Amino acid sequence: MGSVTITHPFHPYSGQTFEVLKARRVSGQETVLVKGGISGTFSIPLSWTDRKRPIGYQSELRLSPDLFQALLLTLQQIERDSHPY
C-alpha cells in the first residue's frame, strides 16, 4: 500500500514517513493504519498526510433512501413529460 508522510504541523511525527498497512473509514473519515510509533501501529486521518484528498472529494457517493426515491420520481416525471401521448 506504499507509505505516507505526515504533514499535519502539530502532529508529533510531522515530517516522518510510515509504511501503510491498511486504509479504512472511521466515523466517515478516511484513515490509514501505519507501522510505527510507540505501540507499533497507529491510525491517522488521511487528510493529515501527503495523500490528502482535494477539498470536496468523496471516495463514495451515497444516496439516502429518501433522496433516491425523489430522484426516481423526478426521472419518471421527466420520462412522462417527454412522451405526452
| pLDDT given at position 1 | 80
14 touches 6 (CB < 8 A)? yes
**The pTM is what?**
0.61
Residue owning grid cell 439516502: 64
Looking at this protein, which amino acid is placed at residue 84?
Answer: P
31 touches 45 (CB < 8 A)? yes
With left for phi above 0 and alpha for psi between -120 and 50, is residue 59 left, alpha or beta?
alpha
| pLDDT tens sequence for the chain (85 residues) | 899 999 999 999 999 999 999 999 888 889 999 999 889 999 999 999 998 866 565 656 667 788 888 889 999 998 888 876 6
| pLDDT given at position 83 | 75
13 touches 37 (CB < 8 A)? yes
